[in-house]
Amino acid sequence: MSNAAALFPRFLVICSIILMLAGVAQIFVRPRKENETMLEKIVNRATITALVSIAFAVAGILFGLGVLKMPRF
């Protein structure tokens, strides 16, 4: 196994943690309107982007830790 292949799982975990932190931070710093309804809070471009970032981060961590196997084509 080459050095690059050996470091790839660690790279995935580190990048996924950074992506997760960015997604969580985006939820807290997103612009808000006064008197937002619950639907407006959920269906907001910043919130949806943050949730997608968190989902990809969780998948990256699972791949990096070996819980999910990388697909082979």
Per-residue model confidence as pLDDT tens digits over 14-70: 999 999 999 999 988 887 888 888 888 878 888 889 999 999 999 999 999 999 888
Please enumerate in sequence order all residues whose Cβ is within 8 A of that of 23, keeping only pairs 6 or more positions apart, or say none.
49, 50, 51, 52, 53, 54, 57
Q: What phi, psi does 14 have (nearest 5°)?
A: -65, -45
Q: What is the value of pTM for the model shown?
A: 0.80
Per-residue pLDDT, 1 = 65
